[in-house]
Structure 1
Amino acid sequence: MKGLLTILRRSPRAAFGVGLLAALLLLALLAPLLTPYSPTSQAFGTWLKPGGEHLLGTTALGQDIWSQLVYGARLTLLIGFTAGLVATAIGTALGLSAAYFGGRTDEAINVLINVFLVLPGLPLLIIASAFLRGGGVWSIILVIALTGWAWGARVLRSQALALRNRDFVQAAIVSGERPARIIFAEMLPNLAGLIAAGFFSTALYAVLSEAALAFLGMGDVSQVTWGTMMYWAQARGALLQGAWWWVAAPGLCIALLGTAFALVNFGIDEVTNPRVIHEARATRVLRRNRAAPQAEPALEPPQPLLAIRHLSAGYVTPQGPVRAVRDVTLSVAPGEFLGLAGESGCGKSTLAFAATRLLDAPGVVFDGEARLAGQDLLALNPAELRRVRWKDYSLVFQASMNILNPVLRIREQVYDAMQAHGVQDRGRLEARARELFALVGIREDYLNAYPHQLSGGMKQRVVIAIALALEPKLVVMDEPTTALDVVVQRQILQEIDAVRKRLGISIVFITHDLSLLVEMSDRIAIMYAGEVVEEAPAHELYAQPKHPYTRRLMGAFPPLEGPRERREGIPGRPPSLAQDIPYCPFFERCPNHLPGTCDVFKPARVEVTSGHSVACFLHSPAVKEEAYAAD
């Protein structure tokens, strides 16, 4: 029940659909209370108009139309839900079996699915109904279920095939788990949203099919359903008699039922795939209206290109918010190479995506600001953001070589960002594309190639070229060389640094490789548990790291020369970012923590030498202001 309430709260469309469906179900269940008449009684006058004792009038045989409507809801909903369940069960079983077992099993099931998809639906229903005529409502359910499962099976098979190759399924297979357990415990939960959506689609197909069969006289017209009501209205010439309500009432109910199913279907998609509901929106910003923070000290020229102030961001989950970035203040000067380092899960990527309004749902910005050349990115509307993105700043994502469209030539993909910002002249586009390829070290003839014809390093260079297409002021690179070998990594990074110096752009480079940042960066910021714990010029951070966490990170990388030494990782694990951390987040793992201080208070980040700041009680007794200690 709690899960259902969460779904309804998160999706207004689903809530309206469930409410509409509940009303129709109550109409069916409470039929004896809603009317005193039998739906088959012919004890009344014929062609009576709506009103008085007969809310919707009477039929040509003297039957009460309102009674037929509420009692007909019972069989109509029974057919829809039962046929939907049977068809969904068949489609799910065959789709998952084909995807999991593969080989000849998959081939045989796929042929069967394709045969049923090729057969025309309504003629097949009519033929099958003719053979089973007289079998009652269950024969109709059986016919509809056996002719309506194929589409759901095909969709489910295609999704299950992709799921079958995921690492966690492969790990379950290697560990020796039984096929039934893998299918029901590993694969089925991940496809639950798709299966539920398929059920409602099939149930709607069943209701419409029954109505079509009944209207054509192929169903059991002795039963009272919304479909048979429309059949008898047509057969008795209701429209010719002016009794349009006899046709309109069941037709409207079928339309409302279809609307309810469709809205619930949309709601399932919204809840199981949060990107759908937010796909046309920028990162949600939930900044509170509170007193402005104390003014920052005036910065000497040049002014920062990117100024992040007290930024807090994370993710909204059913279990509560996860604050992956906590009160971060950071700046990037024009032409500067800023390195951002830390363990996995420390908030590096979330910080970059939140500051640039690219944090996907359910990601949100809780507080703070991010100004690019003085413009608050968090205050822009979607149209303004589209004008700024790629022109004033761009991003190179982690493993971004995989974002290239495999069916488009490289040339079209290089043109795309420029065309989106108004560059339409083919000559200018071609000249710029060739210039970009020369800039990142790729031969021009590869503009005609498809992505699969390029190596991993070449594809990464193409993505970097696309990011530089409009000469943005800032490029954020989120571990862009992680999937490449060390030789190619060095080549690409040297080219990035050369391009930066040539074009005068600023770069924020996110990586785990602290030794690499020391060599490439002008300045480095170290993140831990969503906070910047140390920031300093690269050479100074390497020579004199202040924070115990930074020293541990530096000690994790072996030197290239000198005697061999045993290296150790950092014991323990970071704290959960789903909880408040009113103390130093590193104290449990810190070998030098101060009991009674580090585990009680949060250290403020202070400048210990010029340009070198650290948040640690070993270097300053300053305590972080409570106003920014938590979101």
Structure 2
Amino acid sequence: MTSVSVTPPRLRLLAFGPWRILRRSPRATAGAAIIGLMVLLALLASVVSHADPNTGTFDPWLNPSATHLLGTTALGQDIFTQLLYGARLTLLIGFASALIATTIGTSLGVASAYFGGRGGEAINTLTNVFLVLPGLPLLIVASAFLRGGGVWSIIVVIALTGWAWGARVLRSQALTLRTRDFVQAAVVTGEGPGRIIFREMLPNLAGIIAANFFSTALFAVLSEAALSFIGIGDVSQVTWGTMLYWAQAKQSLLHGAWWWVMAPGLSIALLGTAFALLNFGIDEISNPRARHSGKATRVLRRRAAPRVTVQQPGDALFSVRHLNAGYATPGGSVRAVRGVSLDVHPGEFLGLAGESGCGKSTLAFAATRLLDAPGVVFSGEARLAGQDLLALSSEELRQVRWREYSMVFQASMNILNPVLRVREQVFDAMQAHGVTDPERLEARARELFNLVGIREDYLSAYPHQLSGGMKQRVVIAIALALEPKIVVMDEPTTALDVVVQRQILQEIDGVRKRLGISIIFITHDLSLLIEMSDRIAIMYAGEVVEEAPASSLYTGAKHPYTTRLMTAFPPLSGPRERRDGIPGRPPSLAQDLPGCPFFERCPSRMPGHCDTRKPATVEVSPGHKVACFLHSPVVQATQPQEERHALASD
């Protein structure tokens, strides 16, 4: 049984098919078109040209013309005809050698990593031996020994001398995969080695295997050309390499026949380019991270709108207005944040809660321009102290980040560089924003450590010498280095035990009160937010469904979703009682939601109202807002009183 539930997103190259790969990647399309054209011309060589590539039936040293597109050789052979026929053996050598070498390298590399033990060490030793042997001299010796064996002897020699480096790379990657949780889960469930290797590991190595294949194919073509050029290959055959050999032997450049050298040389270069393009395209398809690497969040609204500083509503420090954000996928847009408006006031602790996948992190990252591609901000504004972050250029945004706002990421303790001392990493953010005086940097670092409750001597430590809670405190200290106006914390204590969580949260709250900064705290733990926050916003399916002061939410939650969240966990004191989770699952964010997103799971739903239109956000008490038809004045006016009470009690 395949461990589907714990398997991370795979490199699904094998599931795409060639046409889908070409359709999704322009570079793969270009590479495949070049290779396809070469293969087609090679196969139709006798149709395209009626001349014999080996027979000199024309005058020697003819210049290129309409009759002879690339001129003729010193022996009167048509160069264009030789180029077409030479493509046959050249491509055969490249693809056959690559196929054999990749098969050997993949088999030995993955087997060595998966099985380990003495067999794995023996394979690794053999790989190392082939790696240290000089490639070209080994090719020359082996080719000389097998001389006269024809094209297949060259293919075998190139394949046997070109598999080792691919095996080493694949072994390294397979060793990493071997320890991943989804492979361990497959082992525990009783899957056999063959199934694990072919179903769990090889799909994740598809991009590397493809790179290995195309690189080896290019190596084979170049090796054959090199062997033929120095006269070791079978020069009686017509390949692009033997064309270079005869052009050099007949001193074509001295006769001004540069096209004799140019034609096979450019063809080899073009073939290498095609291999590279096809490999890049496959990597884009099989590895989404490579496709989006280095890309910033796209902001689709008003590209050239003038940037002005305006006062926030109600003197809010940070104001999000009608923000729509999500992800652009081949299957369409996923709207993970839907028309959210939210304010954060100076010095306020705002909690953001909801189930996994409800859009909390996407909201925070989109509003601060930290959403990774293919993340997209479709519309809306995010103003910090009156300045719209979504309208800033990259350089302007760099100046604002960390000085005006900073982030503490989920499991952010892992962002510390293991080879740098903690002191250097605390200095980095300050140095990036112009603080260069060593004494000032040191004094500020010590002050920050005192703020978050770490001894100053740990500045000289490496990250591995700190506990998880201490590393988390270091990351929080780095976020506070320039005293930003607001800090966004995305579940910063998730990986820590409850005792350390409480200690760190108390430190955060103490620092907030001393420095007067604002905090947006994202978490699943609603009880924690009620204790720590000034105000709480509840998100569901990309929308804020309820927003209230923490005390008001605790004593009188209004939205059925919030009520269910509040009663999902039993209290530590009081009589024992049975608690139930929320049945059903959140709706897909890839589709339009015409009504209330909680309709299907709501025990108080009203068909005809909740499923047909969006509930307006109403203020039921000062500062307490809820988006629910149970509290809509329009619905209350038309609903019988007994029915309203029954629905509310549910």
Question: Would you say same fold, with TM above 0.5?
Answer: yes
Give the CA deviation at 1:607: 1.5
Q: Distance in 1 between matches of 2:430 and 2:126?
A: 47
1:184-222 CA deviation, whole Å, 9 max, x = no partner? 111111111221122111111111111111111111111
The verdict on how the C-alpha distance between 1:618 and 1:288 changes in structure 2, with shifts beyond 3 A counting, is farther
1:296-316 CA deviation, whole Å, 9 max, x = no partner? 99833xx22221111122222
Q: 1:232 aligned to 2:246?
A: yes
2:58/2:76 contact within 8 Å kept: yes
Structure 2 unaligned blocks of 5 or more? 1-14, 636-650
Q: 1:199 aligned to 2:199?
A: no
- Other structure's SS at 1:476 match: strand
Partner of 2:578: 566
Q: 1:538 aligned to 2:550?
A: yes
- Other structure's SS at 2:426 match: helix
Partner of 2:61: 47
Partner of 1:79: 93
Partner of 1:93: 107
1:137/1:220 contact within 8 Å kept: yes
- Please give the residue correspondences for 1:38-437 in structure 2 after superposition, counting only pairs within 5 Å: 38-287=52-301, 299-300=313-314, 303-437=315-449
Give the CA deviation at 1:30: 2.6
Give the CA deviation at 1:2: 7.6
Give the CA deviation at 1:561: 2.0
Give the CA deviation at 1:3: 5.5
Alpha-carbon RMSD across the aligned residues, in angstroms, is: 2.1
1:281/1:382 contact within 8 Å kept: no
Q: Distance in 1 between matches of 2:505 and 2:580?
A: 28
Give the CA deviation at 1:47: 1.3
Q: Distance in 1 between matches of 2:71 and 2:248?
A: 16
Structure 1 unaligned blocks of 5 or more? 624-631
1:603/1:621 contact within 8 Å kept: no
Partner of 2:602: 590
- Other structure's SS at 2:629 match: coil
Partner of 2:7: none
Partner of 1:628: none
The verdict on how the C-alpha distance between 1:591 and 1:51 changes in structure 2, with shifts beyond 3 A counting, is same
AA at the equivalent of 2:124 = N
Q: 1:494 aligned to 2:493?
A: no
Partner of 2:474: 462
Q: Distance in 2 between matches of 1:288 and 1:186?
A: 45
TM-score by length of 1: 0.94
1:305/1:333 contact within 8 Å kept: yes
- Other structure's SS at 2:342 match: strand
AA at the equivalent of 1:34 = V
The verdict on how the C-alpha distance between 1:281 and 1:373 changes in structure 2, with shifts beyond 3 A counting, is farther
Q: 1:15 aligned to 2:32?
A: no
Q: Distance in 2 between matches of 1:13 and 1:432?
A: 49
Task: Between 584-593 and 536-545, report the one with greater CA deviation.
Answer: 584-593
Partner of 2:638: none
AA at the equivalent of 2:101 = A
- Other structure's SS at 1:618 match: helix
The verdict on how the C-alpha distance between 1:21 and 1:621 changes in structure 2, with shifts beyond 3 A counting, is farther
Q: Distance in 2 between matches of 1:536 and 1:515?
A: 14
Give the CA deviation at 1:225: 0.7
Q: Distance in 2 between matches of 1:437 and 1:337?
A: 22
Partner of 1:478: 490
Give the CA deviation at 1:543: 0.7
Partner of 1:28: 42
Task: Between 79-88 and 512-521, report the one with greater CA deviation.
Answer: 79-88
Partner of 1:37: 51
Task: Between 113-122 and 268-277, report the one with greater CA deviation.
Answer: 268-277
Give the CA deviation at 1:10: 4.8
Q: Distance in 2 between matches of 1:278 and 1:375?
A: 28
Give the CA deviation at 1:5: 5.5
- Please give the residue correspondences for 1:614-629 in structure 2 after superposition, counting only pairs within 5 Å: 614-620=626-632
Partner of 2:590: 578
AA at the equivalent of 2:136 = L
AA at the equivalent of 2:532 = M
Give the CA deviation at 1:277: 4.2
Identical aligned residues as a percent: 78
Partner of 2:525: 513
2:295/2:372 contact within 8 Å kept: no
Task: Between 275-284 and 592-601, report the one with greater CA deviation.
Answer: 275-284
- Other structure's SS at 1:534 match: strand
Q: Distance in 1 between matches of 2:118 and 2:392?
A: 55
The verdict on how the C-alpha distance between 1:154 and 1:497 changes in structure 2, with shifts beyond 3 A counting, is same
Q: Distance in 2 between matches of 1:256 and 1:360?
A: 35
